[in-house]
Structure 1
Amino acid sequence: MKQNLHTHCRFCDGKDTIEDLVRTAIDKGFDSLGFSSHGYAHPLDACSLDDEREAAYIYSVMEARTRYKDRLKIWLGIEEDLTGRIYADPAFDYVIASCHFIPTPSGEWKPVDYSPEKAREILEEDFGGDFLAYARAYYREVKKIAARPEADIVGHL
């Protein structure tokens, strides 16, 4: 089976439209494609969905599901950040729970996957260059996913 369930589009931090991604998946012989835009995690994640964009996202994925039903199985997912809201919306086929932010020793939340440059800056300035302390902070947050009953998939291991 050829599939991807962790696909971002222009509704969050992806670069392509749902239509473009579906056509590419079909061209590459995929059996299924799951979309997983970033669920609400404001103010930390400015590209995460707000209520209006979430409704448009759901509509757009469902429209593509109908349009391409004979060529590709399309799944509607959401990637929930541990700092965001808890999703129980029955519209979603699955929830990916991920850690995109970690608490620094000073208690401030910082992004872990914004860019390599930002990660190095956080490592040096907030963790004194101690990569193990940085990694421990990350995996302490990842472990919390197990306590989230709505999480179907753990993201960013």
Structure 2
Amino acid sequence: MNLFAINILLAVVWASLMADYSLSSLGAGFALGYAALWVAQPLFGGPSLYHRRVFRIVRLVLFFLYELVISSLRVAWDVITPSHKSRPAIIEMPLDVKSDIEILLVTNLISLTPGTLSLDVSPDRSTLIVHAMFADDPEALIRELKDGMERKVKECFEL
């Protein structure tokens, strides 16, 4: 049985002990199970891919939430102020991610962030076409997207 299945089982056991099957109870059980499995790492042969991957996924989610708040505030400020600072442009971002799920995740995270929209992926899947609301410096924007969203998504799928 893999560690993810054990962690799910521990979450269900926790919810059963609490007699509460709400999402918060299952989440707390999952977090406690993760901590218990972290402490028990020597029994499973040292640090596992599971623990690294969960940590990277949590880091990606927190990074996305941060970007979501910052970009929402930036777009809202541009909308409510009389002087518009937006310089929209369509840019081509070369992709380092290769699998369909990685490309899908990168494009969706970019599209969910206010001020940016993924338009298309080239047929050879090497370039992502993005519409950006604030593209004063397209090269800096490409660098920001690659060093942010794409790198964190790529880390989540590394072995």
The bucket for the TM-score relative to the shorter chain is under 0.3
Structure having the larger proportion of residues in helix: 2
TM-score (norm. length: structure 2): 0.25
- The structure that has the greater radius of gyration is 2
- Which of 1 and 2 has higher RCO (CA within 8 Å, sep 6+)? 2
Q: When you count strand as a share of all residues, which structure comes out higher?
A: 1
